[in-house]
A and B are shown apart, each in its own frame.
Chain A
């Protein structure tokens, strides 16, 4: 009896779904600590990092952007070119090969205009 009831319910659900008309909307679930209120910017999940850290790069429009890692002397030690859609993009910064010190991570347009930056230190 119990099995028969489940089978009937499943058929009912499937028949209803067949008639639904829907659009697929891509939506990035942004953890609270990575939420950026502005239209564009950059936010780190933590400013003390071990191994890697989540980062939200919020873009004003889809396209190619740069993510830079700069050392204390403002020397670029790593540069990533990303192609990403408009809005929030949850990515990572990898630090396991960097010497223990403090770094700045910066989001820029391809032409070099800064959209946001933050500072992190490597956990020793």
Chain B
């Protein structure tokens, strides 16, 4: 009976006190970025009245992810063991290769295995081993023993996909030297890593702007870190005075690549454009845009209520060139003034001033997203971002991205339901449902009776509007007159300023069409006599519009 009791007590003792103490790695850092210094502590914890006077352990760290900075023996400042002896040996390019069946957490068993040569180390370029010995003539007080500082490296230049398990305990032992008691040492945390490190280079990130025009290399980007932005009236925007992290031009395909953004980094992008002196932005808003604006504005029911419907919600802001919140007849006349060469509003996009809308294609054109989300997050799987971009004043999307998210379409829009109240014809104020058409046009200059004549000859009679922007060499030519033969009731326009001429016609009600033949003849005097006119008179815009809003591009014969 006595023997049985002794056995039971022994078994209970073994099961309840199978470990005497713990050696653990402790890392508590948060919001770690590449380049930050972090601390990893090795801590002893008593489990069964262990009173070691010798503590030894090996740890290894990943030198591809960490650079060791320093070692501090915390044990020396615990108030008891200030005179303890300490030693640290480093072994570069080795990694623990435990060939035994001992669990990684059973540190003293791993020590026993290693000490009997049944487990050991092998060469490994990415790992360094640190061996620590702490010895005192008295009991070592449990608690933090060592603090090791590391600098976090950018893993993009390594083969590792994360920062997990980058410091590991390999073995450990605790001994009471006074009676040579070897304690059973386990680990509750034998490996530490960092779940998220900011600033890891993302590698090549591609940004595309899906603009439909040929001046994409004159589109520009500015990228800010999200920390440089603020939300004002629900709209995310850069804080005042912030300089962009990155800025530059898109290439002629509307793309740019950067290798300076970070994984899991969130960024804000602004996309705009510059004219560069070529005048291309003066030609964003044309007679087709003007006609669409008029058709929208004059569409009213018998009570004067608006019945105009745009295909896309975005067109409500693109057409609002007076920036008063609505597309009205005032906006239409702004458009008309613009195609006459006048700048009345700074809200219609021109070479001198422009207003831009852009956002990720996923929600570009959605009013709820303020016409498009400008924030994007780079991840391992998301490194290409496609943005839409629109110019205010570009109602026909000639230079702007058409939204692809169905949520950007006006719920009430159907092609067949939109009727011009004046003509009974379809009034399509859209782009995708009404692709551009191409008409032939004969336009040429020649010398006639000592003057230079420019004749514009039209072969089809279904255009309600035309626009011809002309630039001439005013060191040789002097504008004299324009003769119209566009039809008796057609409203024509023209303006001459410096070396430019704006010529055209527009019946904004869409009821009358421009005559065929030679609707426009321009006469110039020669300041300097010339024998021919090649290159003297250049056409920057040649465009027509049909009653249903279809844009007509002229193919000059």
> Which one of A67, A93, A97 has the greatest number of beta carbons of chain B within 10 Å?
A97
Instruction: Please state if B530 and A66 are interface contacts (CB–CB under 8 Å).
Output: no
Is the C-beta of A105 less than 8 angstroms from some C-beta in chain B? yes
Judged by a CB distance under 8 angstroms, whether A79 is at the interface is yes
Chain B, 243-278, CB within 8 A of any chain A CB: 277-278
Chain A residues within 8 Å of B472, by CB = 97
The answer, yes or no, to whether B534 is at the interface (CB within 8 Å) is yes
Contact of A94 among B277, B446, B534 (CB under 8 A): B534
Q: Does B105 contact A (CB under 8 A)?
A: no
| Interchain CA distance A66-B476 in the complex, whole Å | 20
> B537 interface residue, CB < 8 Å from A?
yes
Docked CA distance A117–B151 (Å)? 66
Kindly supply a per-residue 1/0 record for chain B positions 538-554, scoring 1 wherever the CB is within 8 Å of any chain A CB and 0 otherwise.
11100000000000000
Contact between chains at A91 and B532 (CB < 8 Å): yes
Asked if A82 is an interface residue, CB under 8 A from chain B, the answer is: yes
For residues 47 through 94 of chain A, which have their beta carbon under 8 Å from a beta carbon of chain B?
Answer: 52, 55, 66-67, 69, 73, 75-83, 91-94
Cα distance A89–B534 in the bound complex, in angstroms:
13
Cross-chain contact A73 with B535 (CB below 8 angstroms): no
Q: From DSSP, what is the main secondary structure of chain A's interface residues?
A: strand
Q: A96-B473, A96-B475, A99-B278 are in contact. Are A78 and B536 (CB under 8 A)?
A: yes
Q: A121 within 8 Å of B by Cβ?
A: no
**Contact call B443/A79, Cβ cutoff below 8 A:** yes
* A-side contacts of B556, CB under 8 Å: 75-76, 79
User: In the complex, what residues of A have CB within 8 A of residue B533's CB?
Assistant: 80, 94
B496 vs chain A, min Cβ distance (A): 14
Q: For window 264-300 of chain B, which residues contact chain A by CB distance below 8 Å?
A: 277-279
Which residues of B have CB within 8 Å of A91?
531-532, 534
User: Given the complex, which residues of A lie within 8 Å of B433, measured CB to CB?
Assistant: none
Whether A69 lies near B535 (C-beta < 8 A) is yes
B531 to chain A, nearest CB (A): 6
Separation of A109 and B39 alpha carbons in the complex (Å): 83
- Which of these, B443, B446, B471, B473, contacts A82 with CB under 8 Å? B446
What's the Cα separation between A69 and B475 when bound, in Å? 19
Check if A31 is an interface residue, CB within 8 A of chain B: no
Report which of A81, A93, A95 forms a contact with B444, defined as CB distance below 8 A: A81
Question: B278: nearest residue on chain A (CB-CB)?
Answer: A99
B499 near A97 with CB under 8 A, answer: yes
Assess A105 versus B473: contact at CB under 8 Å? Given A76-B556, A79-B443, A79-B556. no
Contact of A78 among B476, B530, B539 (CB under 8 A): B539
Can you name the residue of chain A whose Cβ is closest to the Cβ of B452? A80
Residues of B with C-beta under 8 A to A98: 535, 538
Is B445 in the interface zone, CB < 8 Å from A?
yes
Are B476 and A94 in contact, CB atoms less than 8 angstroms apart?
A: yes
Size category of the binding interface on chain A: 20 to 34
The count of chain B contact residues (Cβ–Cβ below 8 Å) is: 27
Contact A73 B531 (CB under 8 A): no
**Known A-B contacts A66-B444, A77-B539, A112-B557; A92 and B471 likewise in contact (beta carbons under 8 Å):** no
CB neighbours of A105 from chain B (8 A): 534
Docked CA distance A99–B279 (Å): 9
Residues of A within 8 A of B538 (CB): 69, 77-78, 97-98
- Check A67 against B534 for contact (C-beta < 8 Å): yes
Task: Scan B472-502; emit 1 where CB is below 8 A from any A CB, else 0.
Answer: 1101100000000000000000000001000
Give chain A nearest CB distance to B543 CB in angstroms.
12
Mask, B197-225, CB within 8 Å of A = 1, is 00000000000000000100000000000
Known contacts being A96-B475, A99-B279, is A78 close to B535, with CB within 8 Å?
Answer: yes
Bound: A54/B540 CA distance, A: 24
What is the CA–CA distance of A55 and B445 in the complex, to the nearest angstrom?
Answer: 17
Measured between C-beta atoms, what is the minimum distance from B473 to chain A in Å? 5
Query: A30 to chain B: closest CB distance in Å?
Result: 15
Residue of A nearest to B535 (CB): A94
- Contact between A69 and B534, CB atoms less than 8 A apart: yes
Known: A66-B444, A94-B473, A97-B472. A80 touches B532 (CB 8 A): yes
Considering only CB atoms, which chain A residue lies closest to B539 in the complex? A77
Chain A residues with CB below 8 A from B476, complex form = 94
* Distance between B151 CB and nearest chain A CB, rounded to angstroms: 50
Interface residues of B in 410-454 (CB under 8 A from A): 443-446
Interface residues of A (CB under 8 A from B): 52, 55, 66-67, 69, 73, 75-83, 91-99, 105, 112
Q: List 9 A-B contacts (CB under 8 A).
A: A55-B534, A69-B535, A78-B535, A78-B537, A80-B446, A94-B473, A96-B475, A98-B538, A99-B279
Nearest 5 Cβ contacts at the A-B interface:
A94-B535, A80-B534, A81-B446, A76-B556, A79-B444
